[in-house]
Amino acid sequence: MKQLEVSIMGQTYILACPEGRETSLLLAVDSVDREMSTIRDAGRVKARERIAVLAALNLAYALSERPATSATPGDDGTPVDSAAQQAGAEWAAAAARLDLRSLVQRVEAALGDTPASS
């Protein structure tokens, strides 16, 4: 296992990563960092933990909206999902389709966070 030092929303993390999968992990880190930064920059949610939950929900929602793909066996017979290997591009495409404001508003309402009136 290789260890990578990454930064998500300004905080450093040391993550374990299987050899040869560094690019996939870095793409995932970039997706999480962008999602959390987008929520933070919207200015309505301040707590890092709440931002992380909202980002996880956004990314899970985007993933659930992807068309289903079938896994094909790799050289060793283990199923390999080619879509999973191209996660970075798919995350970007899914994020572009996602109406973040609407989703954040629904999650905030469900969590009891209502934006302050001006």
DSSP 19-39: TT-HHHHHHHHHHHHHHHHHH
Averaged pLDDT for residues 25-35: 93
Query: For a pLDDT cut of 70, what percent of the chain falls above it?
Result: 58
Q: Report pTM.
A: 0.57
- Closest listed residue to residue 5, CA positions, set 26, 33, 24, 21: 26
For residue range 46-93, what is the model confidence (pLDDT) as tens digits? 899 999 999 999 888 888 887 765 455 555 555 555 555 556 555 555
- C-alpha torsion 13→18→23→24, nearest 10: -90
